[in-house]
Amino acid sequence: MEAMTDDTTFLNPFPGLRAFEEHEDILFFGREKQVDELLKKLRLVRFLSVIGSSGSGKSSLVKSGLIPALHAGFMSGAGSKWKICSFRPGNDPIGNMAASLVNNVLYDDIPGEEERALYTSITESTLRRSNFGLIDTYKQAHVEKGQNLLVLVDQFEELFRFSNYEKKAAEGRRDSVAFINLLIKAAEQREIPIYVVFTMRSDFLGECTEFRGLPEAINEGQYLVPRMTREERREAITGPVAVGGATMSPRLINQLLNDVGDNPDQLPILQHALMRTWENWQVKNGTSNDPDPLDTVNYEEIGTMARALSQHAEEAYAELTTDRQREICEIMFKGITDQGYNVTGIRRPRKLSEISKLANASHQEVIDIVEIFRKKGRGFLMPPSGIELTADSIIDISHESLMRVWERLIAWVDEENQSSQIYLRLCDAAHMYDIGKGSLLRDPELQLTWRWKEENQPNAVWAAGHNNQFEQAMAFLEKSKQQHEYELAEKERLQKQRLRRTRRIAAVISVIALAAVALAVYSLELKNLATRQSKIAEKKSKEAIAQRKIALAQQRNAELSKEQALLSREQALEQKGIAEGAKKKSEISEKNALVQKTLAEQQKAYAERQKLVAEMNAKLAKQQQGIAETQTGKAVANEKLALEQKQISTRLRDLAESRNQAYEAMMLLNDNKREESERQALAAYKLNADNNGPQQSNDIYSALHYNWVAGINNKNQFTVHKASVRNILALPQSGQMLSADESGWLYLLGENNGTLQAITSYNLSQDVRVIASVPGTQNVVAITAGGNAIVLQVAGNTIKEISRAAVEGIAKSALVANDKVLIVTGKGIGNYTINNGLLSLNKFTPGNNYTDVVSTSAGIYLGAGNNIQQFKALADVPGNPVATYNTRSKVLCVATDAANSYIAAGTYGGDLWIKRIKPDAKEASFNLHTSAINDIQFRPGNGGIQLATASSDQTVKLIDVASLMQSRSTADIITLRSHAKWVYELAYSNDGDFLYTASEDKKIIGWHATMAGIYNDLKKKK
């Protein structure tokens, strides 16, 4: 290329991402030694495998190095007459080889498309007939004598993905095995000059053992592409520049050599950066006769090797003007890439017609998007610009490096892999259900799968590339959804039934209260009766004492009479001798004395009986007095018990009434009677508080909250975000809030009594997954799905980027402690140091099972699979934990309260795990949600420990920790329902008065943290 008169322009000598083609050998530098080695190897063995890492230049080495050398006759003993059959295996390796053989390789004079299709069909049939099909095809074509045939299979690793698909389909004969046998048999024979060369990534070598004979053939003819030396890389940079008629400054050459280093997979990125640097230089120099040399200013303006490719791809993406175009673009790139066997990904070329079906788009709509990405100077897609696109055109990315560097595509590839995994699990579940060994899907699997269906809208064309049981799987999912909705309706019916039962219980409590009153009255009656009986007993006791005194007197009289009788008898005996004449009188006197004696004895016996009766009456009176005293005690106790029961029943009745009032408040609000509803809600709260009711009541909170929301016209909902809101963070330095969404927008928010106002915004143009504040500074670390940790300064009303560092994998959480930062991703844990806003990686520990990490006074707690691991210090993570706690399902989030009293975790199954932070404390687990708990936070400040959980079941729970741990009951938990999709994250305001929740529905919603807070707010407005 000569340079350059006034009416000429400089032609860009760099191909960008794509490989060098055969006609570009004049631009291919730095591989002369390797070309000579390939020629020697191919002359000795006719089956040559060119192996190298992705981006090492395998295809360019063969196409622009080996093939031109063959045409030049540099391989001794073979001559210079060569037919080149070059193709990629794709989804039809034998068919693609047949098409390539027919198209100007074995046949040069086929007149039309119909004849060409016929020849292709005949050739394919010959190839499929036996393992010698390629040899037979060559013979039947009557090729001119002395013509050599080189079969070049580029991107040989595509065959393994096709083979995997064949095994899943289980349809008998496998084309992948037959294809390899065709190549091996053709190379083994020496009758016909057929040579086989294929290029393959080195990370797929292990897959070759699946095919009999292939490892042996590779071992015999393997050529491992070596790394280019620094001088060879210098030639690859400066040689094309000289051919293009320009010069390059030494400092740019050195910077390029330093940037590419010894990493072989950087060569395509280097070529792309050179292409962009040339374009930048060309714009500035135009058609000048004395152009400046290419310099570092041109290189830096295109973003250097670190960002040039991603920026260039984003420029192309930005040219898509409608949401529909962006949707088709995403579907197209997901369709032509595959994460496959290795996370770096492999290409999956598809026909344009297939992409149209995948996206439910017309051919022209797809062509319009392909043209944007393959236009001259870009070349992200193949075929190159200038080749007309038809329905049968094969669309492919130009190089795998695009999948490694373009951040948006990285996220798409990951999403596509997750999507395919969900679909395959659905197919497995449907199959197990059909054969009677499985059940319908339930939450959280059902919700996850249904959300995937609604968002991705899969069709049979897409599904065919993974599992052809699409209709059965969708029917199974629909049936699972119907069953789930039925169960929800049944649950709602039971809830209404419980509400009616609660009202009946309140009525029964009222009856019990009346019975308690009656019991109190009866107790008073018993007390009065006991008092009367006590008085009667005292009276009878006095009568018994009086009767005893009378009996004693009568006894003394009887004894005196007896003594008188004895004296009279003695006197009578003395007078007997004196008064014999008065014998008759004496006898009469004696009889009288006997009568008196009998009478005295009778009186004595009567007196003794009276004494006994008196004693019995006294004893009976004493017994009556004891009974009366016992009855009095019982009456007093029954009166006290009745009073307590009356108080309890009154309290329970009032608490039940407070919930009825809350329910009525909601009914009034639904009837647009807001003032009456608000009065009823306030009365419900006061009645609950006056009766020492629970701090949390779901019914009362709901009545108060929705009246507050109605009063502020739903201003507690922040709806500025246009994509799913992933993060919400309270900034401790300023009292402001910071939110981030999946489109990369960050909003700095003013917080005022449960409402948010946007102060300023900042666009990172990358899906933000984690944000964390740096203690003691105004800095925030934002981590994107594209693998960047970006340090931002949030000062006053501005957001400014300070620095960024690479992160391996998609971030899940981050912990910032002093000058250390732990970043947990899907691929492991990165330990960083942050100094003056600059992040530097200390070490990276691989692992795909870690989720969330939190620091406490007792050490570091890390979620790892179904475990919570405790470490002494941050530097120990993720080594050997000092303690491990098990959960029922995978841990997704971990949190601690401000006083470091509790550690809590949320799980994939919707369980809350909680434990006091002390050695002898027991752990507890409660099933709170029907789907995964995505975030968990303790309320800051004093006033009782409260915990909030955010879930994929679209709800948020407020938990009184003391009540939950003491009663082991979830009755006092408040459920917040206003989000329409998954709730990703939540954050309390710095004073703890309000809670803010971020959701997939693109909203942030503000809530009062307590019922008392809403009550006071409503009372202020009265």
Nearest to 786 by CA among 310, 393, 400, 463: 310
Q: How confident is the model at residue 606 (pLDDT cuts 50, 70, 90)?
A: low
Give CA angle at 944 (818, 693), nearest 5°.
160
Strand partners, 740: 727, 746
Q: pLDDT by residue (tens digit) across 732-782? A: 878 899 999 999 999 999 999 999 999 999 999 889 999 999 998 999 999
Q: Distance between CA 332 and CA 359 in Å, rounded?
A: 7
Q: Alpha-carbon distance 685 to 695, whole Å?
A: 10
Residue 327 has pLDDT above 70, yes or no: yes
Q: Which two tokens stand for residue 184?
A: 């091996």
Instruction: Name the helix (H) or strand (E) containing 878.
Output: none
Q: Is the per-residue pLDDT at 236 higher than 60? A: yes
Tell me: the pLDDT tens digits for 483-519? 888 877 877 787 777 777 777 777 777 777 677 667 6
| pLDDT per residue as tens digits for the range 183-201 | 999 999 999 999 999 999 8
Q: What percent of the chain has pLDDT above 90?
A: 44
Q: What is the largest CA-CA distance in the chain?
A: 204
Average pLDDT for residues 76-100, to the nearest whole number? 89
With cut-offs at 50, 70 and 90, classify the pLDDT of residue 3: very low
Kindly report which listed range (422-436, 442-456, 504-518, 652-666) carries the lowest average pLDDT score: 504-518
- For 326, residues 6+ apart whose C-beta sits below 8 A from its C-beta are 317, 320
Gap between the Cα atoms of 874 and 771, Å rounded: 19
Render pLDDT for 103-150 as a digit per residue (tens, 0 to 9): 878 887 777 778 888 888 999 999 999 999 999 999 988 888 889 999
**Angstrom distance (rounded) from CA 45 to CA 197:** 10
Residue whose tokens read 């620091």: 855
Residue-wise pLDDT tens digits, 373-389: 988 878 889 887 878 89
Report the alpha-carbon distance of residue 591 to residue 1002 in Å, rounded.
132
Q: How far apart are CA 844 and CA 829, in angstroms?
A: 6
Strand ranges in 334-460 using DSSP code E only, listed in sequence order: 337-338, 346-347, 350-351, 381-382, 394-397
Question: Hey, CA dihedral for 9, 13, 17, 18, is it positive or negative?
Answer: positive
Ranking 313-327, 361-375, 475-489 by mean pLDDT, the lowest is 475-489
**Structure tokens, 654:** 């009032």
pLDDT band for 921, please (50, 70, 90 cuts). confident
The secondary element (H helix, E strand) that includes residue 574 is: helix 470-576
Averaged confidence pLDDT in the chain: 85
**146 — alpha (psi -120 to 50), left (phi > 0) or beta?**
left
Please, which residues bridge with residue 999 across strands?
Answer: 983
- What is the predicted pLDDT for the residue at 770? 96
Q: What share of the chain is helix, strand, coil (3-state, %, to 5)?
A: 50, 20, 30
Predicted local distance difference test score (pLDDT) of residue 2: 38
952, β-bridge pairs:
none
Which helix (H) or strand (E) covers residue 363, if one does?
helix 363-374
Is-contact 568 593, C-beta < 8 A?
A: yes
Helices (H), 170-293: 175-188, 214-221, 230-243, 250-260, 267-285
Pick the more confident residue, 477 or 104: 477
Q: Where residue 453 falls among pLDDT bands split at 50, 70, 90?
A: confident
Q: Output the pLDDT for position 636.
A: 66
Q: Is the pLDDT of residue 1 over 50?
A: no
Tokens 């080695």 correspond to 37
Question: What integer pLDDT is reported at residue 575 of this predicted model?
Answer: 58
Q: How large is the angle between the packed helices 323-335 and 407-434, nearest 10 degrees? A: 70
Distances in Å between the alpha carbon of 872 and those of 258, 819, 831, 852, 913?
Answer: 41, 17, 16, 16, 21
pLDDT at 968 > cutoff 90: no
The β-bridge relationship of strands 222-224 and 47-52 is parallel
Q: Which residues contact 734 (CB under 8 A, 6 or more apart)?
A: 778, 794
| Residue 434: partners with Cβ closer than 8 Å, 6 or more residues away | 472, 476
d(CA 872, CA 857): 9
Query: CA 146, CA 142: separation in Å to the nearest integer?
Result: 11
Q: What angle do CA 758, 763, 765 make, to 5 degrees?
A: 145
pLDDT value of residue 7: 42
Give the start-end residues of each E strand in 358-439.
Answer: 381-382, 394-397
Letter string b/e over residues 787-796, b meaning 16 or more CB atoms within 10 A of that residue's CB: bbbbbbbbee
* CA-based radius of gyration for the chain: 49
pLDDT, mean of residues 49-59:
90
Q: Rounded to whole angstroms, how far apart are CA atoms 465 and 427?
A: 13
Residue 346 has pLDDT above 70, yes or no: yes
- 341 pLDDT exceeds 70? no
pLDDT band at 41 (very low <50, low <70, confident <90, very high): very high
